[in-house]
Amino acid sequence: MKIHETLEDLSIATIVLTRVPINNLFPINQDIDIHRGQWAYPFIGALIGCFLFLLIFLFESMGVSRQVSTLIALSAGLFLTGALHEDGVADFFDSLGGQDYANRQKILKDSTLGTYGTLALVISLLLKFFLISGLESWPVLACGLIACSSLGRFSILILVNYCDLSKQAGLMRHLKKVSNKTIVLCGIFCMFLFLPAGLPAIIITIILGYTSIYIFVKFIVPYNRGLSGDILGLSVVFVETLSLIIFTISFS
């Protein structure tokens, strides 16, 4: 792969996963396929985690407490990604109130935030806040944020490879299955970032990670009659939070 193609792929992945106006900074062919940047999702996730760490480090260096710095970083992260994955969490849990498939789809298309969605968002954000606050030393905090953010985006590749897309997939219908080589290399990249947590933590992460993917593939995706952007968002938040729990326990 040529250097300019690699940069273009990274730019496409950045556009899909964040709200950074990268298309205004670099010339990008408007006809390029979105799926070309899929291999870079874990790398973009790592950069997002690095961004959160730098914000916490910056504000705490200015005398702001760790808790407030973490809250500022999480808020900035939501703006950076456009709350893309959190929107999926809220929509999915709101849809649980539907009596049948048609009713669930109606709820998913409704822009109003329901009780289930609100509670799911509050709980997921509180979990992240307390887990990140528990990573006390700077090296551990940096490694935790970068590794877990990368793993969350890696789950997108796994689900797209093992699930059929929903007819309501929207923009996600442009995603395609990647090669096994890409899956393996991306997985190695994520596990390399997780190395500071130790070998037992890596083994537990792999086991629980694939167990989570199995649950998504066998139960959650069929419940929605196919893979959608909301389920991908849910998987990112779920895997990211689960890996943060493992990372925190390994250093407690």
Per the domain annotation, does 56 fall within a domain? no
Mean pLDDT to the nearest integer, 44-63: 96
pLDDT tens readout for residues 10-49? 888 998 899 988 765 555 555 567 778 899 999 999 999 9
Per the domain annotation, does 17 fall within a domain? no
Res 182: pLDDT: 94
Per the domain annotation, does 88 fall within a domain? yes
Q: How far is CA 196 from CA 116, 140, 228, in A?
A: 36, 8, 33
Per the domain annotation, does 224 fall within a domain? yes
> When comparing pLDDT for 95 and 235, which is higher?
235
Per the domain annotation, does 220 fall within a domain? yes
- Band of residue 112 on the pLDDT scale cut at 50, 70, 90: confident
Res 3: pLDDT: 77
Question: Per the structure block, which two tokens stand in for 112?
Answer: 């109003």
Mean pLDDT to the nearest integer, 151-161: 95
- Rounded Cα distance, 89 and 124, in Å: 9
pLDDT tens readout for residues 188-217? 999 999 999 999 999 999 999 989 999 999
Res 75: pLDDT: 96
* CA-derived radius of gyration, the chain: 18
Overall domain count for the chain: 1
Q: Residue 187 has what DSSP assignment?
A: H
| Residue 127, domain extent | 82-250
Per the domain annotation, does 74 fall within a domain? no
Question: Per the structure block, which two tokens stand in for 49?
Answer: 């985690």
The pTM (predicted TM-score) of the whole model is 0.92
